[in-house]
Structure 1
Amino acid sequence: MVAHGFTVNLNKPLVFQVGHLGEDYQEWVHQPIVSKEGPRFFESDFWEFLTRTAWWAIPTIWLPVVCWFISLSYRMGHTPSELSLMVVFGIFVWTLLEYTLHRFLFHIKTSSYWGNTIHYLLHGCHHKHPMDSLRLVFPPAATAILLFPFWNLIKLFATPSTTPALVGGGLLGYVMYDVTHHYLHHGQPSGQMARNLKKYHLSHHFRIQTLGFGITSSLWDRVFGTFPPPSKVAVKKR
C-alpha cells in the first residue's frame, strides 16, 4: 500500500514502517492478511524474540503466580470460601478491564508516526495478521511490568490481606483471556457455546471491527450496546 509516497514492504521489518502511513494507517491495518506466517517486526533478533510468545507459556508462567497470590491472603487468615469470592470478583473485574482496554485503547484512532507505531505494537499487528499464533498472547515481560500498577490500583480499594487474592483473581482472568483468545483463532470447537464464541470473535476481525470487543465473554458488549448484529455466515475452519 502506498501512502504519502511511502510503500509498506511486507518483506522487511514492519514496526518502523507503519508510522509513515499517516491517516491511511487505519484503513491499512484493518485489511487482514490471513496467514499463519507472521511478519518480522524488528531487525534486532533480541527485540524480535521478545515479540513472540507461545500460548502455553502464559499458563505455565502465570498460574503459579496466581496460586502464590491467593496463598498470601490465605496465610493472612482468609477462609477458602472468602478466597473463592475474592478470586471470582477479581475475574469479574478483569472482564470489564478486558472490554475497556480493547474498545478504548486497542481501537484508538491514530495518524501520527509514533501513534501508529505504538498502536501497531499493541493491537494493530493482530488485526493485520490475525492468525499469527506467536503474537496472539501478551508477552510475559510486558505483563510483569503491568502487574505493579495493577497491584497498586487494587491496594487503593482493598485491605492488605485481600489485595493478593483480588490481584490473583484478576491475573487468573487474564490467563483465561489469553488462552481463550488463542483457542478462538486456532481451535476447532465442537460445543455450541464455544462455536458461538468463536463466531462472535471472528466477526470482530472479518466482518465488523468496530463491534464485539469481548474475548472471554460477550457480557459487556451486551451491556454497552456493542454486540455485533447476527450473521448467517458460518464459522470457517482455519
Structure 2
Amino acid sequence: MVNKLFTVDLNKPLVFQVGYLGEAYSEWVHQPVVSKEGPRFFANDFCELFTRTLWWVVPLVWLPVVCWFVTMSVQMGLTPSTAALALVGGIFIWTLLEYTLHRFLFHMKTTSYWGNTLHYLLHGCHHKHPMDGLRLVFPPVATAILCVPVWTVIRLLSTPSTAPAVFGGGLLGYVIYDVTHFYLHHGKPSKGLTKGLKRYHMSHHFRVQTVGFGITSSFWDRVFGTFPSTGAAERIK
C-alpha cells in the first residue's frame, strides 16, 4: 500500500526509511540524485563502515583468490591449457550470472517494508545515487557470502579438478565486472568500446531501467531481447 504521507528525508540515514514508501518505493528509487556525495545509510558508525568500499579493494582482495583456485586445479592434475579453458568458461558463466542477477534480483519489484529495505541495500541505493563512488562495488564480505552458493553449485556440476578453475574464472569475471562498472560511472572514455558501454549503461540509469542489464557486454541483452533501442542509448551523452 502506498504511504502517501511519508517523505524520505535525504539528510537522515536512509535504509530504515525507504521501507515506509510501500508501493511508491519503485518510482522514488528510480528518480536519481546525481551527486558524488553519498547518503548515510545507518546511524550506527560500525554498520555504516561496511557499506563503503573503494574500487581498488575488489581486485586487491579477489585476484589472489582467483590465482589460488586456478593453482589448486593444476595441483589436482589439470594441465595449464585445460585450466585456462576452465578459467575462460568460468568468465563466460559469470556474464550470464551478471545478467540474470541484475535483471531478476536487482530489479525485482518490492512493496513491503522489508522488501523495499533489502532491495535498497542490494541495488536500489545505486539507482537513487548512481554517482556514489564508495557504493559502486560490492563490499568483500557481501561477495564472500554470495560466493558460497556459487561455489557449491559449480562443485556439484564439475569434476573435482575442474571446479576450482571454473570458480576462479567466475570470480575473475566478477572482478572485471565491478571494476568496469566503476569506470563506466566515473571514467571518461573518449572513443571505442568503453565509450559505447558507458552510453549503454547510462541509458539504463537515466532513460529506461527495464532494459540494458549487461554491464561488461550487451551480449545477453541481445540474446534475451532486452537490448535498449538505438535512439535511447544515443541520446545519452
> Does the pair score TM above 0.5?
yes
**Does 1:134 pair with 2:146?**
no
CA distance in 1, matches of 2:194, 2:141: 30
Shift of the alpha carbon at 1:234? Answer: 4.5
Structure 2 partner of 1:30: 30
Structure 1 partner of 2:45: 45
Structure 2 partner of 1:62: 62
Shift of the alpha carbon at 1:69? Answer: 0.3
Structure 2 partner of 1:13: 13
Structure 2 partner of 1:124: 124
SS at match of 1:24: helix
Structure 1 spans left out of the alignment, 5+ residues:
none
Checking the alignment, whether the CA contact within 8 Å between 2:30 and 2:128 is kept in structure 1 is yes
Structure 2 spans left out of the alignment, 5+ residues:
none
**Does 1:106 pair with 2:78?**
no
Corresponding pairs, count: 234
- 1:7-42 deviations in Å (ceiling 9; x for gaps): 210000000000000000000000000000000000
CA distance in 1, matches of 2:220, 2:203: 16
Structure 1 partner of 2:196: 196
C-alpha change, 1:215 and 1:9, in structure 2 (3 Å) is: same
CA distance in 1, matches of 2:190, 2:80: 34
Checking the alignment, whether the CA contact within 8 Å between 2:12 and 2:40 is kept in structure 1 is yes
Checking the alignment, whether the CA contact within 8 Å between 2:202 and 2:236 is kept in structure 1 is no
Shift of the alpha carbon at 1:141? Answer: 0.4
Structure 2 partner of 1:214: 214
Structure 2 partner of 1:79: 79
Checking the alignment, whether the CA contact within 8 Å between 2:203 and 2:236 is kept in structure 1 is no
Aligned Cα root-mean-square deviation (Å): 1.0
- Structure 2 residue identity aligned to 1:195: K
CA distance in 2, matches of 1:207, 1:28: 15
CA distance in 1, matches of 2:91, 2:145: 20
- Structure 1 residue identity aligned to 2:235: V
Percent identity at matched positions? 71
Shift of the alpha carbon at 1:164? Answer: 0.6
SS at match of 2:226: coil
CA distance in 1, matches of 2:10, 2:67: 42
**Does 1:169 pair with 2:173?**
no
- Structure 2 residue identity aligned to 1:227: F
